[in-house]
Amino acid sequence: MSRRRLARRVAKAARGLWFAALALALSGCASRPAILASADDYAAYRATRVSRTFEGRLAAASNYLERYPDGAFAGEVRAYLARAEPVYYAAKRGTAAGLTAYLATLPRGAFREDAAHRLRALVRDRNAGDLLARAARETEAQLSRQRAARARVREELAAWLRRFLGSDAWGRPLAEAPAEVVVPFSLALPAPRCASADERAGPGAVVCAKRIELPFAVSAGGESAPRKAELEVAVLQDAAGRPIEVALRGPDLFTRLEEARSAREITADDPEGRIGGIALAVELARGAFAARVSAEPSCSREVEAPVVLHLECGGVRLVARAAVDAGEDDGVTISVAPPAR
């Protein structure tokens, strides 16, 4: 081999060694763990640097230290986790969702016991709040149902007054009356029962009646007490089926009106409560009469107990009576003068 060719080979080998030495020098000390680490060690470490989310890098760091506590990158990863985990936990510790995320990311984290304790407390408080909220909703729903049941007592009486104070309910067979009368009286449950009337009503006269029960609740001695208003709607009809008189009555009906209005128990020794019920019945009857017949003051007639209201105009007569003796009903009767022949 010629000297020139040998010199070229030596120079080429020298350049290769120089480049290798330069690469090693430029890599510095940080490259030494990479040179010493296994492929699995390096792959686990790399996940702590390239995961796309903060949670992903934290989870990778925790997994790395669990798998390689003495790994080539353990010191670096441990220092990173010591800095990053407290910051992450401080951001997550205030909510149940945040604590759940922390425990999912770092199930063996330094704050796992505190996180689990806080999460249990938050869930317990939330469940207690849910129970209280549900109880409040149920209580409000029950109170709403009770208010509606009490309101129905007044509304039911007022509705029957309006129906039979309308002029279309008279002068024709009941079956031919407007739907607002026929449907609730003849078709709605309970069905009316008919029987022969007193002979004084005329030959062939019948009375058809239906009893409507209206349960509600009042306060009695600080507790809820059941009540029931009974309203009987009785229609006296002639032989042709035309209404002669309508009676809206029931035991202690006026007292039940006041109990439903005030939501309190009215006992036999409570005259103010009884008077309040009579006044409410008079108010309802007067209001219905004014709306369907006439509001003229001249329609009022003088009354004497047990009559508490007497209105008469345009051939329509309304009389309200309050029971005096036990066994009697409170009630309102409506009648219309027969057409002139």
Q: Residue 333, SS3? A: strand
Q: Give 189 or 340, the one with higher predicted confidence.
A: 189
Query: Under DSSP, is residue 34 helix (H, G, I), strand (E, B) or coil?
Result: helix
pLDDT value at residue 57: 93
Backbone angles phi, psi at 137, to 5 degrees: -65, -40
User: Could you tell me which of 170, 180, 163, 169 has the C-alpha nearest to residue 231?
Assistant: 163
Q: Is the pLDDT of residue 272 over 60?
A: yes
Record the tokens describing residue 114, joined without a space: 């505190």
Q: Which pLDDT score, from 0 to 100, does residue 132 have? A: 80
Q: What is the mean pLDDT of the chain?
A: 88
Tell me the per-residue pLDDT of 282-322, one tens digit each, with 9 for 90 and over: 999 999 999 999 999 999 999 999 999 999 999 999 999 99
- Split at pLDDT 50, 70, 90, the class of 8 is low
Give the pLDDT score at 134: 82
7 burial via Cβ count (<10 Å: 0-12, 13-18, 19+)? exposed
Which pLDDT does position 34 carry in this prediction?
A: 57
- Give tens-digit pLDDT for 97-148: 998 999 999 999 999 999 999 989 888 888 888 878 888 888 899 989 999 9
Bridge partners of residue 243, in order along the sequence: 237
For 13-60, what is each residue's pLDDT tens digit? Answer: 433 432 333 233 223 334 445 556 788 999 989 998 998 899 999 999
pLDDT number for residue 35: 58
